[in-house]
């Protein structure tokens, strides 16, 4: 039974054998026992992935008196969790007469996989004994569910408890570091690996490449990539995407060509990186060629994110009509993200008619999409369509739509400081705003004038200028300037696309203060140095 159930493709044979076993009147000593059910449950999960078959086996376990076995109970918990029956798993756990650390770990892991992190943390805190798996289960759960700060906090406590991480732990924490821009913690993990002679396997290596790339340290990512003993499509794709996001398109494409020569077959995400690189560098013809090669050379069917890259590629280069025609000819229905790419392009190029059309298509798919409604309001105001503008206002009021707040964060001394536009909650707010006032005077001397057209809000011009001056990325930069030594690199992460005004002013700030500034927005990286941005204003 066990050999059948744990051999890929033989799960159904295990279930058939069990059914046959029940139908034959055999010696009681040869009836299903505690060794039978764990394998059978695993076969059930692989074959059906549903709660009901697990319940049927559960009833057999109870009937045959094997319920008290800790291994059977733990496998039941794990099986219910994997099939989405977390409440049934909890019931089993509570009824188990004997529990061991594996049972507790299965429950924590199951709750985490189902997104119930509060319950998982409570269960973890109540554990009488904890081991590496316990800590890793909670850390992985936080990372996979987007609780990035909590991921790093638990990892810190794990170190304080004297528990050394394994590869799974490190991948989860590096993922959180990547998404938060927490470079110093990521560096500590890398140093730990070096000091303890940890093997640089493909997954940890790829996670390190992703972390360094998403922290804007693409040179460090390249060092990891070049020093890896072996490479596969995951590591190559991570490096291609990292280079593309940091504006190093030629290097990204070179790695793609090298992996093709080495016989490493690209996958979906590889082409996302390649198309993204072409888009950020304005390589329209190359992008068209690579998009065509997906199906013609590799039999990869393009997905929505590939179409989004192509719309961005064409529109960024100013070919707005081509981008629109491309969407019209898509063999699959465009989603909010595809139309959103067109809307962003129209906003950049101040193309209000096509932008309004894209916004309307978005609203058909997502009625409360704040970005589309804000753009429509702005577009109607520009063409003096007051009826249309009033319609948008009423719709936003009726739906109580609020635009997603812009927020930026900076990692300083292993502490992540977060700012919202106009935020005054930080303990250093008075000094931060004083620094902004100082920068405003210096910017004016450099000839800077606010780009009020980028402020999509219905207020007077003077108010728009004031609003632009307190965008979250400017607050984060001011905080960085007053808390780090002169000449120190400043790294900022922003949840939305940086606006034109902030982009222009940060270029000048980098020149005025003599600092390199790296800003990662929702779209790409901007490396500011000496008044110049790595994107060369093509973004």
Residue 453's pLDDT is 57
Task: Kindly report which listed range (169-178, 454-463, 479-488) carries the lowest average pLDDT score.
Answer: 454-463
pLDDT tens-place string over residues 400-448: 656 667 899 898 887 889 999 888 899 999 999 999 999 999 999 988 8
Task: Kindly report which listed range (83-87, 227-231, 267-271, 401-405) carries the lowest average pLDDT score.
Answer: 401-405
Band of residue 99 on the pLDDT scale cut at 50, 70, 90: confident
pLDDT tens-place string over residues 304-330: 999 999 999 999 999 999 999 999 999
φ, ψ (nearest 5 deg) of residue 373: -65, -40
Residue range 251-276: mean pLDDT, rounded = 95
Instruction: State percent of the chain over pLDDT 90.
Output: 49
Band of residue 37 on the pLDDT scale cut at 50, 70, 90: low
Angle between helices 132-144 and 117-126 (to 10 degrees): 170
Task: Delimit the domains of the chain by residue range.
Answer: 303-403, 407-533
Class of CATH domain 303-403: mainly alpha
User: ∠520-521-525 over CA atoms, to 5°?
Assistant: 45
Q: How far apart are CA 144 and CA 172, in angstroms?
A: 8
Q: 468: which residues sit within 8 A by CB, 6+ positions away?
A: 450, 451, 452, 454, 455, 499, 501, 502
**379 vs 49, more confident:** 379
pTM, entire model: 0.76
Q: How far apart are CA 401 and CA 395, in angstroms?
A: 8
Q: Which helix (H) or strand (E) holds 338?
A: helix 336-348
Given a contact cutoff of 8 angstroms between Cβ atoms, the answer to whether 436 and 478 are in contact is yes
Residue 54's pLDDT is 74
Q: How far apart are CA 477 and CA 228, in angstroms?
A: 35
CA nearest to 528, candidates 538, 539, 276, 509? 509
Flag whether pLDDT at 10 surpasses 50.
no
Residue 434's pLDDT is 95
φ, ψ (nearest 5 deg) of residue 498: -65, 140
Q: 145: which residues sit within 8 A by CB, 6+ positions away?
A: 112, 115, 117
């Amino acid at each position: 039974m066990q050999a059948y159930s744990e051999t890929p493709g033989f799960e159904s044979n295990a279930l058939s054998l069990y059914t046959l076993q029940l139908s034959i009147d055999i010696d009681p000593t040869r009836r299903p026992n505690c060794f039978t059910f764990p394998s059978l449950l695993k076969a059930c999960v692989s074959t059906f992935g549903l709660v009901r078959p697990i319940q049927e086996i559960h009833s057999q376990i109870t009937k045959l008196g094997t319920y008290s076995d800790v291994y059977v109970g733990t496998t039941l918990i794990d099986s219910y969790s994997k099939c989405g029956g977390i409440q049934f798993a909890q019931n089993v756990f509570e009824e188990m007469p004997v529990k061991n650390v594996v049972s507790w770990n299965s429950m924590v892991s199951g709750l985490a996989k189902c997104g119930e992190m509060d319950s998982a943390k409570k269960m973890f805190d109540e554990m009488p004994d904890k081991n590496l798996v316990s800590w890793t289960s909670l850390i992985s759960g936080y990372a996979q569910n987007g609780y990035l700060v909590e991921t790093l906090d638990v990892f810190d406590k794990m170190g304080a408890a004297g528990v050394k991480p394994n590869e799974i732990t490190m991948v989860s924490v590096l993922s959180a570091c990547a998404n938060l821009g927490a470079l110093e913690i990521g560096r500590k993990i890398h140093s730990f690996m070096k000091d303890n002679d940890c093997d640089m396997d493909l997954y940890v290596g790829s996670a390190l490449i992703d972390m360094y790339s998403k922290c804007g340290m693409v040179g460090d990512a390249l060092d990891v990539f070049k020093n890896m003993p072996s490479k596969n499509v995951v590591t190559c794709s991570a490096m291609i995407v990292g280079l593309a996001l940091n504006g190093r398109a030629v290097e990204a494409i070179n790695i793609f060509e090298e992996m093709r020569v080495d016989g490493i077959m690209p996958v979906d995400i590889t082409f996302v990186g390649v198309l993204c690189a072409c888009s950020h560098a304005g390589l329209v013809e190359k992008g068209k060629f690579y998009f065509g090669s997906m199906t013609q050379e590799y039999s990869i069917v393009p997905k929505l994110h590939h179409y989004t890259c192509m719309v961005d590629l064409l529109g960024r280069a100013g070919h707005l009509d081509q981008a629109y025609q491309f969407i019209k000819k898509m063999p699959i229905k465009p989603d909010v993200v595809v139309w959103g790419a067109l809307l962003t392009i129209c906003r950049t190029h101040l193309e209000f008619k096509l932008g309004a059309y894209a916004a309307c298509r978005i609203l058909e798919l997502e009625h409360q999409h704040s970005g589309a409604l804000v753009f429509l309001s702005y577009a109607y105001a520009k063409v003096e369509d007051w009826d249309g503008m009033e319609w948008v206002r009423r719709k936003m009021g009726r739906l109580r739509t609020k635009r997603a707040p812009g927020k930026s964060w900076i990692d300083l001394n292993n502490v992540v400081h977060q700012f919202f536009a106009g935020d005054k909650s930080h303990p250093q707010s008075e000094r931060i705003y004083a620094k902004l006032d100082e920068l405003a005077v210096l910017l004016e001397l450099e000839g800077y004038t606010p780009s009020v057209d980028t402020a999509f809000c219905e207020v007077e011009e003077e108010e728009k200028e004031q609003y632009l001056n307190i965008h979250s990325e400017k607050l984060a930069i001011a905080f960085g300037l007053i808390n780090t030594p002169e000449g120190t690199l400043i790294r900022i992460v922003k949840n939305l696309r940086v606006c034109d005004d902030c982009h222009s002013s940060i270029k000048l700030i980098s020149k005025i203060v003599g600092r390199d500034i790296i800003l990662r927005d929702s779209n790409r990286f901007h490396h500011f140095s000496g008044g110049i941005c790595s994107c060369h204003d093509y973004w």
